[in-house]
């Protein structure tokens, strides 16, 4: 059940900060309120990881929700990690070329532009860590140790493309545990085909890891879907 009082409070705060707001962002707000309420209600520990940051809209929304629902609680406030090339999408290959919107350089934003936007929105920068670079270059086991990420409570996949999603999921695998939510922003792109894009990557990931099962949790707008993870070995 959605806490509409929480939604209204966050919406007012974002509007006061002159955060660009429309139907799409309101759908994201509803979705991430539900995700973070689940995490808080079940006392699920872990950090928040977002792959595909762009201009930081989701980071700003998540940060504002956390400020409201974690305030004064004993549960540790999570660290937030954002991963982006800041060069836009890589060159689409294979089936990824079939989407009319996804092309090289799409969704490009500089890291400094992102940081300025986060500061303007008064995001808690001490809790937000930005990693710049192509996923295949920067997502290493050494990076995981360097960042100190052990468990993820929420993973937001906004990679658009199949291969980028594969790389992100494989890197996250050691951090995926019981109760982790994995959210896919582009789940229903490619006409909703299960053998394309993020759907294809996640289906393959689950087949490779039979100890992981995914229960549908929340859908938002026309394109997004999230899952609650059950992991037998953890």
What pLDDT, in 10s, does the model give residues 62-77? 999 998 887 655 567 8
Between CA 103 and CA 100 the distance in angstroms is 8
- What number of other Cβ atoms are within 10 A of residue 135's Cβ? 22
What pLDDT, in 10s, does the model give residues 38-70? 999 999 999 999 999 999 999 999 999 998 887
Q: What integer pLDDT is reported at residue 115 of this predicted model?
A: 93
Between CA 103 and CA 123 the distance in angstroms is 30
What's the gap between Cα 68 and its chain centre?
19
Between CA 98 and CA 62 the distance in angstroms is 31
- Domain layout of the chain by residue ranges: 4-231
The pTM of the whole model exceeds 0.85: yes
How is domain 4-231 classified at the CATH fold level? Rossmann fold (3.40.50)
Q: What integer pLDDT is reported at residue 72 of this predicted model?
A: 53
What pLDDT, in 10s, does the model give residues 87-109? 977 777 877 766 767 777 677 89
Between CA 68 and CA 70 the distance in angstroms is 6
Q: What integer pLDDT is reported at residue 19 of this predicted model?
A: 60
For tokens 């539900």, the residue is 34
Q: Which residues in the chain show pLDDT less than 50?
A: none
Q: What integer pLDDT is reported at residue 127 of this predicted model?
A: 86
Alpha-carbon distance values, 102 to 20, 53, 91, 126 (Å): 23, 16, 9, 33
Instruction: Write down the mean pLDDT value for the chain.
Output: 89
């Amino acid at each position: 059940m959605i806490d509409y009082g929480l939604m209204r409070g966050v919406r007012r705060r974002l509007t006061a900060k002159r955060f660009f707001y429309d139907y799409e962002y309101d759908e994201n707000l509803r979705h991430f309120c539900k995700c973070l309420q689940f995490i808080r209600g079940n006392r699920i520990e872990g950090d928040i990881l977002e792959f595909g940051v762009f201009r930081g809209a989701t980071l700003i929304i998540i940060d504002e929700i956390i400020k409201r629902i974690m305030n004064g609680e004993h549960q540790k406030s999570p660290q937030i990690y954002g991963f982006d090339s800041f060069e836009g999408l890589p060159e689409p290959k294979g089936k990824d070329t079939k989407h009319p919107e996804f092309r090289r350089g799409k969704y490009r934003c500089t890291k400094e532009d992102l940081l300025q936007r986060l500061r303007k929105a008064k995001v808690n920068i001490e809790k937000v860590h930005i990693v710049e670079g192509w996923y295949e270059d920067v997502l290493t086991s050494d990076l995981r140790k360097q960042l100190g990420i052990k468990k993820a409570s929420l993973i937001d996949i906004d990679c658009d493309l199949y291969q980028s999603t594969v790389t992100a999921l494989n890197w996250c695998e050691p951090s995926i545990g019981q109760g982790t939510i994995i959210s896919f922003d582009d789940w229903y792109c490619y006409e909703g085909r299960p053998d394309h894009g993020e759907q294809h990557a996640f289906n393959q990931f689950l087949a490779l890891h039979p100890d992981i099962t995914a229960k549908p949790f929340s859908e938002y707008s026309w394109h997004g879907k999230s899952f609650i993870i059950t992991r037998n070995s953890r």
